Chains A and B, each alone.
Chain A
């Protein structure tokens, strides 16, 4: 979906809830005729617009910070942010993440610095979308998207590999392995001083 979706209301029903939060004056039953008012309520509601979102046809945007599918981010020149430290896997309460790190070499460099994540799997049959992995990540390599359509028909399809999780290459990004920007060190990368693959 190209056009940005806008939520129907930012209010989240808080106003209605506070309006409804009126103290009950009397514990006693209302008079019989007052009670019959309930029939009018249901009758009236029949002619209101249903509140249903007809999901597969109509998709409403999620909340801005909804916990959806994970994404492994890249620096602006395309190098991976993940350093294979496994902190996400250790933080995971559901044991849904598997990381195997590997050393970068000058010939084959996937991320700035010493190490990169060679194997990165998230098992969405186990993941509880708590976001502790995101909090644990020291390089902001792991974040969550708003994508929630994760149902599938087999168990193996729900174990997402690294290539399923990697952020797409934007314009100006170069698919690793490639060396760091000339004259820059991994510290420059961490400080966010890299903007695009300028020298290529």
Chain B
């Protein structure tokens, strides 16, 4: 029985229980990840991190949440009141919605009913996740716009531009997964990885996805939208109290969601590590949840590690990287993958596949060689005294300005 059929037999109350569980897991994950992030980053900076509230500071995030809830809820006079209130709600609901199609476990027994820990399985599950993420951008845009203030507007603009740009790369990186698993349903994709995880077979896709998921969630080093030193707080500058808490929740649920998606699509979802397959039947199948959570935690650690290590990118570099590196690279990769897939599906001999691969490698090497030599030629030209004009706008040289002024005055 396939996962979709299994879910179809769920009575309504089981779905309700699952929805509640998913919601609880998301909120709990947010609290834990705020705490975890602060502790890990602190250790990376040789600090202790929060350790006052509760054992090891575990309920620090909860205390912060209570503090936020008790704060005064301000709505600026210039704000568009209705949109201002709706924006955080949009941001947070879309984040939660993505979790509906993520398979958290294999087949388990929940209250005497055989099912899987996945709210629903739709044939275009991954597209659905991308769609909810896109709707989530509305939360950001509307928050920035409705605040009636400059910084939030700039922050919202940056955020939305960033999320939209990196969503393209993200979507493209997933195409290879669709091609190889032959499905867009998350359950089927996990099923297709029972032998080899896609992070091995489709390594370039995995790398592109890993980079673009950081861009997608507005996290360091791609946190230009919330650059504290540049834009105050980005799109949520004017938000306070519970509405701010909602954005905070949305941000972290989003991180957990993209991590969960990464685990589902590339790390074999709830499957155990290779060679540990026997653990999947432990606890009546519930042990698979632990495997899944472990993978999500792994990705979360990567997020924190990135934040602890890398400085923030400049905005133009960031956009250049997204549009001129990630997107073309994934397009070329998709062509290669598609060709290989079609060749192997049509029963081409193994030698043809290997020949094709070698040809691609040779092409890439030749291209890299050409690029290197042209770079060397440019460097040579530079060293001969030709100062290259920088690609970004620079102010005029002061000497020249004064010259022209004298000329102007003297006629």
Residue ranges of A at the interface with B (Cβ–Cβ < 8 Å): 38-39, 41-43, 45-46, 48-52, 54
Q: Tell me, in angstroms, the Cα distance from A170 to B309 when the chains sit together.
A: 56
Query: Would you give the shortest CB distance from A13 to chain B, in whole angstroms?
Result: 13
By a CB distance below 8 angstroms, the chain B residues around A52 are 46-48
Q: Are A45 and B46 in contact (CB under 8 A)?
A: yes
B308 at the interface (CB under 8 A from A): yes
By a CB distance below 8 angstroms, the chain B residues around A42 are 44, 305, 308-309
By a CB distance below 8 angstroms, the chain A residues around B310 are 38
By a CB distance below 8 angstroms, the chain B residues around A54 are 48
Q: Tell me, in angstroms, the Cα distance from A42 to B301 when the chains sit together.
A: 12
Contacting A at CB under 8 A, from B35-70, are 40, 42-48
Q: Can you name 16 A-B pairs with beta carbons within 8 Å?
A: A38-B310, A39-B305, A41-B309, A42-B44, A42-B308, A42-B309, A45-B45, A45-B46, A46-B43, A46-B44, A48-B46, A49-B46, A50-B47, A51-B46, A52-B47, A52-B48
Q: Is the interface of B mostly helix, strand, loop or mixed?
A: helix
Q: Are A39 and B43 in contact (CB under 8 A)?
A: no
| Chain B: interface size category | 10 to 19
A36 nearest CB neighbor, chain B only: B309
By a CB distance below 8 angstroms, the chain A residues around B44 are 42-43, 45-46
Q: Are B47 and A51 in contact (CB under 8 A)?
A: yes
Q: A42-B44, A50-B46, A54-B48 are in contact. List 7 more A-B contacts (CB 8 A).
A: A38-B310, A42-B309, A43-B305, A46-B40, A46-B43, A50-B43, A51-B46
Of the candidates A43, A46, A50, the one whose C-beta lies within 8 Å of that of B48 is: A50
Q: Tell me, in angstroms, the Cα distance from A109 to B48 when the chains sit together.
A: 55
Query: Would you give the shortest CB distance from B60 to chain A, in whole angstroms?
Result: 16
Q: Tell me, in angstroms, the Cα distance from A41 to B308 when the chains sit together.
A: 10
Q: Are B42 and A50 in contact (CB under 8 A)?
A: yes
Q: Tell me, in angstroms, the Cα distance from A53 to B305 when the chains sit together.
A: 24
Q: Are B309 and A45 in contact (CB under 8 A)?
A: no
Lowest 10 CB-CB distances: which A-B pairs, in order? A42-B44, A46-B43, A52-B48, A42-B309, A51-B46, A42-B308, A50-B48, A38-B309, A39-B309, A50-B46
Q: Tell me, in angstroms, the Cα distance from A52 to B308 when the chains sit together.
A: 18
By a CB distance below 8 angstroms, the chain B residues around A50 are 42-43, 46-48
By a CB distance below 8 angstroms, the chain B residues around A41 are 309
Query: Would you give the shortest CB distance from B232 to chain A, in whole angstroms?
Result: 27
B39 nearest CB neighbor, chain A only: A46
A41 nearest CB neighbor, chain B only: B309
Q: Tell me, in angstroms, the Cα distance from A39 to B43 when the chains sit together.
A: 14
By a CB distance below 8 angstroms, the chain A residues around B308 are 42
Q: Tell me, in angstroms, the Cα distance from A123 to B385 when the chains sit together.
A: 65
Q: Tell me, in angstroms, the Cα distance from A46 to B45 when the chains sit together.
A: 8
By a CB distance below 8 angstroms, the chain B residues around A49 are 46
Query: Would you give the shortest CB distance from B387 to chain A, in whole angstroms?
Result: 15
Q: Tell me, in angstroms, the Cα distance from A129 to B43 when the chains sit together.
A: 34
